[in-house]
Each structure stands twice: as C-alpha cells, then as structure tokens.
Amino acid sequence: MSLLRLTGHTTDLAAGLTVRRLLPAAARRAVGPFVFFDHFGPVTLPAEADSDVGAHPHIGLATVTWLFEGRLMHRDSLGTVQAIAPGEVNWMTAGHGIVHSERTPPEERGRARRLHGLQLWVALPPALEATDPAFQHVGAADLPPVMPATGVRLRVLVGTAFGATSPVRPASPTLYLDVRLDAGVTFTLPPLAPEMAIYAPLDALRIDGETLPPRTMAVAAAGAELRIAPDPTSAANPEGAEGTAAETGSGDGTGAHFVVIGGAPIEQPVRMWWNFVATDRERIAAAAARWQADAFPRIPGETTRVAAPPWRG
C-alpha cells in the first residue's frame, strides 16, 4: 500500500530548541480535526538556555501537549497554573480567546534539562469556534496502558480505541494514541477513524511492507487496515536526536514508538494565521486587532507578551 508521506520542515524556536512542523502541509492541510503538528526535541538544553514562550493568544482551536521527556509549566488567562510531565495530557480550548504561556518550571531553572514532545492543534467545529475557553489536565494514572496484543502497549490520549476511552473531552470525534511495540512484533491497526496518520519521533517503521523513516508522517488511505512493525534494518537514534535509548524510550533498534492521530474530517476548511484558527477571515482579523490593542484577557502574574507578526489581511 502506498502511503502519503509528509516530512515537514524544521525551525529553531528558542535557545537551540528545534521544532519539526508536519501539519499543515501543502499536500495535506489536516488529518481529522488536527490542523497543526509540531515535534520539538529531543534536546538537552544548557543551564543558561531560555526556552520560555511568553504570553500569546489563541482562538478557534484546542492545543494538545504530550511530552516524552522534560517538564513544562502552563499558565493561562483562566488562572490555570499546571505543570505537565511525560505521560500527562494538557488540552486547552481557546474558543473565542485565551492567552497562555509555556515556561520552564522553577525547580529546573539554572540547570541542564531534557525536552522532547509534541504539540498539536485541533480545529474546533464552526459552531464552537466562539465557545468559552477551558482547560483540561489528565494525569498519567488516568491514562492506563492498554495491551491489545502481545508486545503492544498503548495509551488512548484522546478518543476511544480497543475498549478504552480517554477522560479528555474533545469537541469533535478525535483519535490520539501513543503506541509502543516490542522488537519483532507486528501490530494490525484497524481503521479506528475516518482519517488517520502515523508518526514515529525516533524510530523507523515497516507499514504494510514499506519503510517509514523516523520523523516522517504517514497518512493512511480511508478505511485502510495497517500492519505496523519496527524496522530493524534502519539506524537508531536519527540525526538531531540526543541522549541514550533509556532517556528517549525508543530509537534503540529493539522496538518502536509512534503516535496515531485522526478523527472525523473538519466540517469545512479553516484559515490559519499566527496562533489563530477560524472558518471566517474576519474573525481572525478581529483577533489580530484585539491582540494589537492589548484587549485579550491577561494571565495573572505574567508581565511579557509575544508580539504578533504584522497583519496584512
């Protein structure tokens, strides 16, 4: 079976933190409701590195953060203060407007630290674009592993699969799985959603006999059942990855780690500009003007804000 492959592009976010953006892409703007897919790290940041992202706004979307290594501190204009660690999910619904920041936790400042994870955006359905903002945090204990077959361990981060349902409350049918395979295991992934894609941060996979290199997204054909296995012939720890297999949890050639995203397709195409998502261009223009006028709600205790790029319509 031929798979649509997305390799994305990389940018330097801050302090040596490299981000690979897979969605949106020219060949594929969304997979289910997911319209944005960023993979950051893995990296060891030096003690003096400032990787903080100050106060910035969102509308019309939900952000989903999932870490493999490190910790981040989330603060938002609802008054939320929430650390996130590996195995936990942060889901923030922007609705008509929210402001948040992502900073290094105080106890990790001033020392070298690891950071590796994914941040995704989900487009809200048109009827909920202007809903009230909200925040959900789900701890690791509330995401127990599921073993659908011998040598397969997965967590249902969002949605329902293999008899398990995540506590996260999405705005539309959404699927997000974290999957680990033992060496030599072939996992048959059924079509759990109308649209699905596979992404392995560090490991090469064999999907229906085709090699999928690490850091490459494979978009499945509608209704396809995929046979997925580790690819033992590919080099472990790809270029740009740091740390040992014990630190990363994969990339050691003895198994495979990947995520599955998908869900029902978005109801109608959305526009994206900076941190804003909407079906209506005028809603984005209004949000740009609000941020320029400092009219978004503020985060308690935050004194810095990220400047928006010039709005050119």
Q: Is residue 307 part of a domain?
A: no
As given in the structure block, the two tokens for residue 157 are 């981060």
Cα 264 to chain centroid distance, Å, stands at 17
- DSSP H or E stretch at residue 291: helix 281-292
Residue 136 CB coordination number (10 Å):
17
Considering the entire predicted model, what is its pTM?
0.94
Q: Is the dihedral of CA 135, 158, 29, 54 positive or negative?
A: positive
Count of the separate structural domains present in the chain: 1
The pLDDT score that the predictor gives to residue 247 is: 36
The pLDDT score that the predictor gives to residue 153 is: 98
Stretch 279-288: mean pLDDT: 97
Q: What is the CA radius of gyration of the chain?
A: 19
pLDDT tens, residue by residue, 141-169: 999 999 999 999 999 999 999 999 999 99
**Phi first, then psi: what are they for 86, rounded to 5°?**
-55, 140
Name 247's bridge partners. none
Q: Work out the pLDDT band at 241, boundaries 50, 70, 90.
A: very low
Query: Residue 111 sits in a domain of what CATH number?
Result: 2.60.120.10
Please check whether residue 170 is in contact with residue 122, taking contact to mean a CB–CB distance below 8 angstroms. yes
Q: Is residue 304 part of a domain?
A: no
Q: Is residue 166 part of a domain?
A: yes
Q: Is residue 276 part of a domain?
A: no
Q: Is residue 298 part of a domain?
A: no
pLDDT value at 239 more than 90: no
- DSSP H or E stretch at residue 246: helix 245-248
Q: Is residue 272 part of a domain?
A: no
The pLDDT score that the predictor gives to residue 128 is: 97
Mean pLDDT estimate for the chain: 93
Q: Is residue 191 part of a domain?
A: yes
Q: Are strands 9-14 and 4-6 parallel, antiparallel or unpaired?
A: unpaired
Q: Work out the pLDDT band at 104, boundaries 50, 70, 90.
A: very high
Domain that holds residue 256: 4-263
